[in-house]
Amino acid sequence: MKVSQLSRNLFSVLLLAFFLFPYVSFLKFFNWNISISGSELIWVLKNSFLQAFTAAGICVVLGFYFSLGLFQLPEKSRSIMARLVLIPQILPTLFSILIAFSILNPFPVGHIGVIFIFVLVNLGFSVYQITQAVQNKMGQLALISEIYGLKKSIFRRRILIPIIWPDLRLNFLFVFLFCFSSLSVPLVAGGGKGTNLEVLIYEKIFIEQNWDSAWLLMLLQTLLVFCISYFLLKTRTYAQSYFRAHSYYNSRLAAVGLGIYIFGYLGFYLYSVINAASALEDVLLHQGEIIEATLNSLYLLAGVSATCFLLLVLWIADYVQWLRHNVVVHFISVSTVMVGFAFYIFFPLTNRADLIKIPLAFTLLFFPVLFRIFFAKRIEQLRSQIIAAKVFAVPTRRIAFDIVLQQLLKPVFFSAVLLMIWTLSDFAISRSVGTQSKTLGLISEGFLTSYRLDAAFLISFYILLIWLVLTTVLHFIFKGFYGANK
């Protein structure tokens, strides 16, 4: 085997090894003591699928419709609204649960209740993602359709939906994954149907102390996701084109629906934050700790962003080599507790180790999701350009940086926006990897576990403010460097 081919293989294998680390790491400790009840497994899978499938379906349908409402808004308002709709997805789940119980009283416990909260949490994310897809793919097709005399409804049915269909499926997958791996929502709102696969994993770990069974369940969960991702997302790609807004994308009724959704949610949230103002004194007592946590969170955010960016470059280089995505594109880890535990047992529990393991754990869990949402299809769209460059013997490094990355600035920006808030608000992953550094997410969770619900609301609001400031700064950096239209 030639050296260059060996290095190419090694490259792909190392990428694969990084993402498989949590799965193989357990083999060192494995003693094959498996105890899983078949009937229970089928039952939890049924619950998980029913809740996640229905919620994802509703999110995609409503998300598509509400995205038409977003296009109804003037451009500046649309830009602000497009960020606001992400808030339900990024606040701690408990807040969304409390808001849901405030909206529906009496609350319909059972599948309906679970699906309602899932939709409440994920609908904004669907709107955001579908709006992005329309802007990236539709170009001037609405204008052309009008010139050719196509009615609005026919344009939407025959042109718009078929073109963004792969993105709707992608969105379906991600909402499905978020719901499929949820722990709190099915328990609180599910009644007897509140047991899903994630709960079963918890039960194996915390009640039975049977990590072997938990590991096997995590493997099953990941394989299911792998299969869904592999078969659901095998689609054609479309060339990206300059988007021109048009009334065919607008809907006043959808704008009203979107407004009710997001302002209803934010209204309940802000009401809780205002009610929590009395806890400000308590929070300020801990300002030293909060400042330390803010700095830690920002430091970790920088680490996570750098690691994700480097991995993106690597992945692009891998794609340039093979002209297809590495198979790990389908390895989307959903069991936070098991992935976290792999890092928990392999790394020392020190502040210094946090600097390495948190970026790695976050990258492992976030990167495949962000890559599928923002980059996988875009890179495929550039395939012909990459082939042409290879024919002219342009080096891989130049293809990756000067051709591919140059055309991915917008997705880099949007993925950074999501990465920022996920990282800043996270406590579940940080907790499961055994983080010793204080972060804002952990402070918020710490308040929740010590009677201080109000203080937790205030910290969550503080996190949102930091995120908005960082997003604005990033927006101007991208605008300044690359111009408003890129």
- In the region spanning residues 40 to 99, those forming contacts with another protein, defined by CB under 8 A, are 40, 43, 94, 97-98
Among 49, 53, 202, 243, binds another protein (CB under 8 A): 202
Q: Output 250 or 396, the one with its CB closest to another protein.
A: 396
CB of 151 to another protein, least distance (A): 46
Helix (H) or strand (E) holding 25: helix 3-25
Among 24, 42, 206, 252, binds another protein (CB under 8 A): 206
Among 64, 116, 176, 211, binds another protein (CB under 8 A): 211
For the chain, the distance separating the N- and C-terminal CA atoms, rounded to the nearest angstrom, is: 43
Taking CB under 8 A as the binding criterion, the range among 69-77, 182-190, 228-236, 248-256 that sits at the site for another protein is 182-190
Residues numbered 215 to 274 that lie near another protein (CB under 8 A) are 272
Residues numbered 125 to 154 that lie near another protein (CB under 8 A) are none
Burial 154-193 (b: 16+ CB within 10 A, else e): ebbeebbeebbebbbebbbbbbbbbbbbbbbbbbbbbeeb
Q: Residues 345-364: x/- map of binding to another protein (CB under 8 A)? A: xxxxx---x--xx--x----
CB of 396 to another protein, least distance (A): 5
291 binds another protein (CB under 8 A): no
CB of 386 to another protein, least distance (A): 14
Give, to the nearest 10 degrees, the angle between helix 287-322 and helix 440-448: 130
Q: How many CA atoms lie within 13 A of 142 on its CB side?
A: 21
Taking CB under 8 A as the binding criterion, the range among 63-71, 200-208, 295-303, 418-426 that sits at the site for another protein is 200-208
Residues in the chain: 486
Q: Residues 387-426: x/- map of binding to another protein (CB under 8 A)? A: --------xxx-----------------------------
Q: Output 191 or 259, the one with its CB closest to another protein.
A: 191
DSSP state of 357: H
CB of 324 to another protein, least distance (A): 17
The dihedral over CA atoms of 453, 459, 461, 464, expressed in degrees to the nearest 10, equals -140
161 binds another protein (CB under 8 A): no
441 binds another protein (CB under 8 A): no
CB of 429 to another protein, least distance (A): 10
Question: Is the distance from CB of 216 to CB of 111 less than 8 angstroms?
Answer: no
Question: Is the distance from CB of 222 to CB of 323 less than 8 angstroms?
Answer: no
Q: Look at residues 341, 323, 468 and name the one whose alpha carbon lies nearest to residue 399.
A: 323
314 binds another protein (CB under 8 A): yes
C-alpha angle 475-480-482 in degrees, rounded to nearest 5: 95
Among 117, 130, 164, 199, binds another protein (CB under 8 A): 199
Rounded CA separation 375/11 (Å): 20
Helices (H) and strands (E) in the chain, counts: 24, 0
340 binds another protein (CB under 8 A): yes
CB of 304 to another protein, least distance (A): 14
Helix (H) or strand (E) holding 46: helix 38-72
At 2, is the secondary structure helix, strand, or coil?
A: coil
Among 32, 148, 392, 451, binds another protein (CB under 8 A): 451
Among 85, 141, 188, 258, binds another protein (CB under 8 A): 188
Among 67, 145, 321, 423, binds another protein (CB under 8 A): 321
CB of 351 to another protein, least distance (A): 10
The CA distances from residue 271 to 119, 140, 267, in Å, are 21, 42, 6
CB of 86 to another protein, least distance (A): 23
189 binds another protein (CB under 8 A): yes
Q: Look at residues 139, 147, 144, 175 and name the one whose alpha carbon lies nearest to residue 64.
A: 175
Long-range contacts of 438-443 (CB under 8 A, 24+ apart): 438/289, 438/292, 438/293, 438/296, 439/293, 439/296, 439/297, 439/300, 440/290, 440/293, 440/294, 440/297, 440/466, 441/297, 442/293, 443/286, 443/289, 443/290, 443/293
CB of 420 to another protein, least distance (A): 22
CB of 173 to another protein, least distance (A): 25
Q: Residues 4-43: x/- map of binding to another protein (CB under 8 A)? A: ---x--xx--xx-xx--x-------x----------x--x
